[in-house]
Amino acid sequence: MKKSWIIGLMIGSMLVASSGTYASMKWFDQTSSEENTEQYFQPSGEGTEAIDLSKVEKAYELIQNAYVEEVEEKDLVEGAVQGMLATLDDPYSVYMNEEKASQFNSSLDSSFEGIGAEISELDGKIIIVAPFKNSPAEKAGLKPYDQILKVDGEDVTNFDLYDVTLKIRGKKGTNVLLEVQREGLSEPIAIEVKRDTIPMETVYSSVMKSGNANIGYIEITQFSRETGKDFIAQLKALEKKKIEGLIIDVRGNPGGLLSSVEEIAGALVTDQKPMLQIEGRDGQREQVYSKLKEKKDYPMVVLTDKGSASASEILAAALKEGEGYLTIGEKTFGKGTVQQQVDLGDNSNIKLTMYKWLTPDGNWIHKEGIDPDIHVLQSDLYHLHPIQVETTLSRDMNNEQIKNAQTLLKSIGFEPGRLDGYYSETTEAAVKAFQQQNDLPVTGTIDKQTAEAMEAKVVEELNNQKNDRQLQTALKYFQYGKK
């Protein structure tokens, strides 16, 4: 039988409408589920005795024969497996029954429908890792580290990652209402997202100017099956245009296929250091090298933020430590473990943490992230929240939604006078000025129509590269050097 090796890299997380994060690597032989099972029930060393499972068998028989109500055998077995995994205290090691495994594996397809975001478990909370570029999740205003509290009104704080994922997924054109807790806000906010088809294009490139120099820019939104090939093709096209520098943007990129990031890193860094290292429980390391002999004849910069996770961190570390290229932006997410998906023989499986991945210098960034060489925070424009307008906001009201609206007004060039949530006369004047400039009824109050227009203006400003402080810092670096 043909051998296959599949390593779960990304987060033990789920893409709530995306491809999974796997890569072919020769570490674990899945020739058959029976062989896998036998392999891990063998004694692990000299003097080690086989584990006595009689207690488990007795508990199973006792419950099956004596419990006050009948219990399905399958439920007992699945409960036992889940219980064993729970003792690991590892959110990335999980059991998936047949239904969940089928849903998870279907996310490897080349096209999909959903909201377009990656979710993960962090410190017992289900959070957004990053919304995908131009996805419904991004357009609706979901942000990295938003904690998901409710889905369509149902409390999911005690749900596991996969159950939350299944609740969020759905058909194109349908809506899902998420209640999230956001950093910096005292109260949760509700965000409605309309599910759609998520485009699989993951590489975007262009030529930008830094002084008189042509600088190549490549954004990678995730690492899918075709990302490596697309990246190399677009890199070659940029090089034909005689670029004098290259910006690689992995901000908001939650990760993806390890084979994809290997392909990209292998085209950018030389074989002087390993691109990454994989470490097992025995401490032995497998080093992965590029075949590239000569360093590129132009400098590079990598843009990162807290939504850059896993495979994105592998690429950033390979470029930073492997070749000494500059990183600009914010500290990355911090995911440094590797999961193996193992079939249990009945279409269910366990995804178990089996390895750590390390940077070229042997650093483990798990729960730490990668610090940029130049730390640059974005303006308030990048941290705004959707304006919740259940009732029209007006003079002398005081709440968090008004505070958010005031920050928004200031970010798009209208002075609200204060940023504390009190709807003052100056705030009213700023709203009137905005309404007049955008052909809206000049009422001085914020109703749904005005709120939507304000949010549309924010999107317009976000699409203006001049407002991207991190990108502008990178462009200035090519012109003036690191300062």
310 is known as an active-site residue: yes
Q: Judge contact between 479 and 244, C-beta under 8 A.
A: no
Q: Which of these is catalytic: 93, 205, 310, 406? A: 310
Quote the CA–CA distance of 179 and 167 in Å, as a whole number: 13
Across the beta sheet with 374-375, what order do the strands follow? 203-210, 213-220, 246-249, 300-304, 326-329, 374-375
Q: Judge contact between 135 and 117, C-beta under 8 A.
A: yes
Quote the CA–CA distance of 427 and 423 in Å, as a whole number: 6
Q: Which of these is catalytic: 339, 348, 435, 470? A: 339
User: What residue type is assigned to position 206 of the chain?
Assistant: S
Q: Judge contact between 13 and 119, C-beta under 8 A.
A: yes
Residue recorded with tokens 């478990």: 121
Q: Judge contact between 186 and 400, C-beta under 8 A.
A: yes
Q: Which of these is catalytic: 143, 335, 356, 403? A: 335
Quote the CA–CA distance of 429 and 426 in Å, as a whole number: 5
339 is known as an active-site residue: yes
Burial of residue 456, with CB atoms counted within 10 A of its CB: 0-12 exposed, 13-18 middle, 19 or more buried: exposed
Look at residues 357, 342, 256, 253 and name the one whose alpha carbon lies nearest to residue 306: 253
Q: Judge contact between 149 and 155, C-beta under 8 A.
A: yes
DSSP characters over 416-434: -S--SSB--HHHHHHHHHH
Q: Any bridge partners for residue 314, and if so which?
A: none
Q: Judge contact between 149 and 179, C-beta under 8 A.
A: yes
Q: Any bridge partners for residue 131, and if so which?
A: 117
Q: Judge contact between 320 and 327, C-beta under 8 A.
A: yes
Q: What are the catalytic residues?
A: 310, 335, 339
